[in-house]
Amino acid sequence: MPEPWPLIRSALDKSYRVFSVRTDTARSPRTGKEHDFYVIESVDWVNVIPLTPDNQVVMVRQYRHGTRQISLEVPGGLVNPRDTPMDTARKELLEETGYQAEEITLIGTAHPQPAVLNNRQLTFLANNVQKTAALNLDEGEDIEVVLVPLSEIPRLIRQGEITNAMVILAFYWYFMEHQPLMKK
């Protein structure tokens, strides 16, 4: 069985607004050789699946510069170190959509890419959300709020209209818990 590799040294290479890059040198327990690994350090990320009383998912369309495309997603964002993930989920839901929920529950946690990222993605479910406020967007956000029938989500994923892997994972957590026998 593989063992964790002992860390020999770690050095911060560069720090950016939303992440840092570091180089770790670790020793293989099997060969004894040292290898460099590059790690993107980032705080945890939350996604919120907001459901209206009539089973509409409150989603957002927004520009994502990495792909240079408009992406259909659920509200989400980086966890502020001063907040809990649940607090961040509530804030992102309100800021990006103007919706609020009385109750938000954690339905899944995963490591998006453990080969190079050190953070987690936490998915929250917000039931019976209600529109209570106007959007309060960050300066770098351009968002359109759209309501999508929950029953349409699997089709939108299959047809490539939802392509953000963390959003697909969020819906995986939802459907595993709430509709495990959903058909194509």
pLDDT at 180: 56
What predicted TM-score, i.e. pTM, was given to this entire model?
Answer: 0.91
Architecture of domain 45-178: Alpha-Beta Complex (3.90)
In the sheet that holds 45-50, the strands lie side by side as 76-78, 45-50, 121-126, 104-110
Residues 128-149: tens digit of each pLDDT: 999 999 888 778 778 899 999 9
Phi-psi region of 139 (alpha: psi -120 to 50; beta: other; left: phi over 0): alpha
pLDDT for 66 equals 92
- 6: pLDDT strictly greater than 80: yes
pLDDT of amino acid 184? 46
Give me the chain's average pLDDT, please.
94
The residue ranges of every structural domain in the chain are 7-41, 45-178
Q: Over 80: is that where the pLDDT of 169 sits? A: yes
- Summarize the confidence of residues 174-183 as an average pLDDT: 72
Instruction: Return the minimum-mean-pLDDT range out of 8-22, 43-57, 169-183.
Output: 169-183
Q: What is the pLDDT of residues 45-104, one digit of tens each?
A: 999 999 999 999 999 999 999 999 999 999 999 999 999 999 999 999 999 999 999 899
CB 88 within 8 A of CB 47: no
